[in-house]
Homo-oligomer: A and B are copies of this chain.
Amino acid sequence: MPTINDVAKAAGVSPSTVSYVLSGRRPISAETRARVQAAIAELGFHPHAGARALASSKTNVIALVAPLRVDVNVPVIMQFATAVVTAARSFNHDVLLLTKDEGTAGLERVAHSTMVDALILMDLERDDLRIPALRKLKQPSVLIGLPADHTGIACVDLDFAAAARTALTHLAGHGHRRIGLVGPSPAVYRRQTTYADRFLSGFLEASAELDLRTVTHPCEPGAEGVRSALADLDAALDGITALVVHNEEALRPLLDLLQATGRRVPEDVAIVAICPRDVAMSMPVNLTSIDIPAHDVGTIAVETAMRLLDGRRVEYTRLLEPSLVERDSCREIPPSHR
């Protein structure tokens, strides 16, 4: 492996000049620059990342802390990860992948040993124990999610409360007054994953504001979970005409179940799903849905981290506006039937 000294010799300049060509931090004559670049290309020189990190206190690496549970929501997590890696590369950064189960210790390890410049975390819980640990780090962090006390830490996410409002407003606008929420699995609520909480609060508030009759129920994965959730919803509220589904895994079995029990979508029951666009469009009925903009969220998280590193201003709480796309799973209830 050639070093910066080899390049310097080949180009007939000093090592510092090579460094300045690379970083652009000082003016270099066009002629010298050309000679240096030629030498770099010819020797196939790549600066040693460790040496660079040591001298400059910058690693050009960010940590991504992902929940590598395999149980739930895998495609969405993957979309976040893809977006983060791609965006990071566009800022000339690489991504170090950590798992959530290393907890606080993992964050401290990579931060204290200066392996990364910044951290991005996903799957935050309401009172996530990692938040206080993050505050103590010298590296900035960006959360994908919105825990209870996030003062001083940048957060990015879909505005799930607004999403719930949007879903109910849409349904109410189509004449639905009795609406059920099929929520995430009880495990998600138990962990107090922030999106579940926020969606539920938004749902309840909007329900009151719009004067709707609503019921909510978590939903275990699998056909059996869906069956029982739906049964509970029906038992709790007669004459449900619409369902809001905030649970990807439940969508398919729910549609199967509705079909099997002779309830047509959208004629007998309308559905608004909260899920990635492609999931909504791969169902037997094209679902009217509110997208989970994983790509945007991941990209913004990285951008925010970069601004933080540059000492630029950032919006500390960035909640993306939900956008509802109408497809084939909602229908206007004729006024006569309301």
Q: CA A98 – CA B84 in complex, angstroms?
A: 11
Question: A114 touches which one: B1, B59, B86, B108 (CB < 8 A)?
Answer: B1
In this complex, which of A70, A79, A81, A102 has the most chain B Cβ atoms within 10 angstroms of its Cβ? A70
- Determine how close the nearest CB of chain B comes to the CB of A90; give it in whole angstroms: 11
A223 within 8 A of B: yes
Question: A97 touches which one: B54, B97, B108, B113 (CB < 8 A)?
Answer: B97
A50 touches B53 (CB 8 A): yes
Copies of this chain held together in the complex: 2
* Interface 9-mer from A41-49, A147-155, A208-216: A41-49
- Determine how close the nearest CB of chain B comes to the CB of A248; give it in whole angstroms: 12
- List residues of chain B with CB within 8 A of the CB of A282: 221-222
A94 within 8 A of B: yes
B70 touches A78 (CB 8 A): yes
Q: CA A7 – CA B47 in complex, angstroms?
A: 30
Given A51-B54, A102-B89, A109-B46, answer yes or no on A75-B82 (Cβ-Cβ < 8 Å).
no
The proximity string for A residues 105-126 relative to B, scoring 1 for CB distances below 8 Å and 0 otherwise, is 0001110111100000000000
- List residues of chain B with CB within 8 A of the CB of A59: 49-50
- List residues of chain B with CB within 8 A of the CB of A138: 1
Given A51-B54, A74-B74, A89-B102, answer yes or no on A94-B81 (Cβ-Cβ < 8 Å).
no
- Determine how close the nearest CB of chain B comes to the CB of A314; give it in whole angstroms: 24
